[in-house]
Amino acid sequence: MKIRIFILVILTLVFVVSCGSSIMPTATIEETQDTTQVLDPATPWYKTAVFYEIFVRSFYDSNGDGIGDFNGITEKLDYLNDGNPDTDSDLGIDAIWLMPIHPSPSYHGYDVINYYAVNSEYGTMGDFNNLLAEAHKRGIKIIIDMVLNHTSNQHPFFVNARQSDGSEYHDWYVWSDAGKGNYWHETTVGPSSKKYYGYFCDCMPDLNYLNPDVTEQMEQVVNFWISDVGVDGFRIDAAKHLIEDGDKVENTQLTHDWFNQFYTYYKGVNPETYVVGEVASSDARMTTLYSGDQMDMIFNFELAQGFVNSAKGESTSGVASAISFIQNDAPDWNFATFLTNHDQNRVMSVLNGNVDKAKVAAALLLTSPGTPFIYYGEEIGMLGSKPDEDIRLPMQWTDEDNAGFTSGMPWRLLNENYPQVNVELEESDPDSLLNAYKTLIELRKTYPAFSKGNYVVVETSNKGIYAALQQTEEQAILIFVNLSKNDLVDVAISWESQVLKDGNYHLKNLLGGTEANPFVIAGSKLSDYIPLDLISPYSINIYLLETDQ
């Protein structure tokens, strides 16, 4: 399938990560000082950041109670980013998204009972402030989950709302005498029986944003976390469900209108605040319908599925389909990218434990535009399939008892493969998935072309090869990835539009190794160019294009 994607212009360099037959080695990037592009200071920080999603309960337990905590994350910050650009032992991420940290009766925290406090199982507000300060010292931003759509049914607002129709907080929720369907839940209000609306469950009653008092209260919450605490932004849970309109329960105009004024509010508090929304949809248009004047970005679920499906199916079909819709609907790539998250079976489980396919999926994610998010443990290949608790298992740090997560009894038993899949083991293996992630992240951070620039997916003669070109007026990068388990011979790539200037081109493998074949551009076109006579299985190749002119 022929796909052409044109985007903003910024490219910087090109390099090559070669996996051999199936493994991407850790290597030192060959840098050219005068070609590493300095970002435009007007570029928002989140445009070039690599995010890391953490479920606090499962990351690292510092006190032996079996539950991950803020101090545990602080202890492990150097694993994520030690703040020293001269070291290469850390993962290299730039920002963290913390899943819910507020007090809650549930293990997951998505039913909040106090928006101005932190979950005592995770530590104190002082512990969180220390985590935030230590992260900022290392150049790491932190955003937190913000659950605007609903509260817990144990929140004082809802407890008060049930006292009577005339209670102060009654109209903060959505009520009906005759509501029908799974979204309506019966309770007592004073001496009478009444139904309240809760899209997700009876434990999560929806807030009524048609009441301006609710909006004012949640704006105060947002202001508190930005101004008083100092977080760098929010991930908005269940954004599309905020305000219903009759029988329409998602993506209503009322919801869009509310987020439009919300954008103005939080940017007024701090223009650097980043907000990314969860609008789960297979429709790429959602990324544009909510972005820019409502939230900064939306997660692109369609592209995530395309990345994973192409890695699993060993064909460009999945990613090509997603990108074709992006070309039409969101050509600026102003959205957040990912493979899987806390609501989905882990990518390694979807890929049936195939490490080579996991590296290919990581390459598709981290060499594409957009703002990438990595789910904790994804970088070492943790497994996990539903129920939800089992896709949120404790992080596997070592091969010691409980994978080094806790000295006590973990809140949930770990996957039994932790002696073979853990951070300590993979850090020492140059061919590990973890070191593949480190290499890809280092490439992305060293060369801004991966997060910004003119990006074109080019035609190949074999659907097992994904190929893309990134360029500026001065430089260009060619990426081609063998998605398949097979050696592929004489695979040709082509483009017809004016992508590169006419001239003779050589391809430099910036990590060393085999150089690709040269090519000639004449009349602005390239036809049936064979970069390598043989492309190894699951290999990831990235090259700097150099011209004689």
Strand order in the sheet with 493-495: 459-460, 493-495, 526-529
At 64, list the tokens.
Answer: 């032996």
DSSP 172-224: GB-EESS--STTEEEEEETTEEEEEE-SS-TTSPBB-TTSHHHHHHHHHHHHI
Q: How confident is the model at residue 150 (pLDDT cuts 50, 70, 90)?
A: very high
82-119 pLDDT, tens digit per residue, is 999 999 999 999 999 999 999 999 999 999 999 999 99
For residues 464-492, average pLDDT:
89
The strand pair at 233-236 and 274-277 is best described as parallel
The residue from 94, 206, 232, 237 that is catalytic is: 237
Question: 347, 259, 296: which is closest to 95 by C-alpha?
Answer: 296
349-376 pLDDT, tens digit per residue, is 999 999 999 999 999 999 999 999 999 9
For residue 378, give the amino acid letter: E
Q: How confident is the model at residue 458 (pLDDT cuts 50, 70, 90)?
A: confident
Tokens 């699993």 correspond to 312
The residue from 278, 296, 356, 442 that is catalytic is: 278
265-324 pLDDT, tens digit per residue, is 999 999 999 999 999 998 878 889 999 899 999 999 999 999 999 999 999 999 999 998
Tokens 């160019």 correspond to 529
Residue 138: Cβ within 10 Å count: 15
Distance separating alpha carbons of residues 50 and 103, to the nearest angstrom: 28
pLDDT recorded at residue 527: 87
pLDDT recorded at residue 473: 67
Tokens 């404790």 correspond to 394
Cβ 359 vs Cβ 19: under 8 Å: yes
Cβ burial, residue 515 (10 Å; 0-12/13-18/19+): middle
Helix pair angle (301-313, 317-329), 10° resolution: 160
pLDDT recorded at residue 450: 81
Distance separating alpha carbons of residues 371 and 51, to the nearest angstrom: 8
For residue 397, give the amino acid letter: W
pLDDT recorded at residue 97: 98
Cβ burial, residue 399 (10 Å; 0-12/13-18/19+): middle
Q: How confident is the model at residue 549 (pLDDT cuts 50, 70, 90)?
A: low
pLDDT at 56 over 60: yes
Active site residue 474: no
- % of the chain with per-residue pLDDT over 70: 91
Q: How confident is the model at residue 13 (pLDDT cuts 50, 70, 90)?
A: very low
Active site residue 388: no
Q: How confident is the model at residue 41 (pLDDT cuts 50, 70, 90)?
A: low
pLDDT at 11 over 50: no
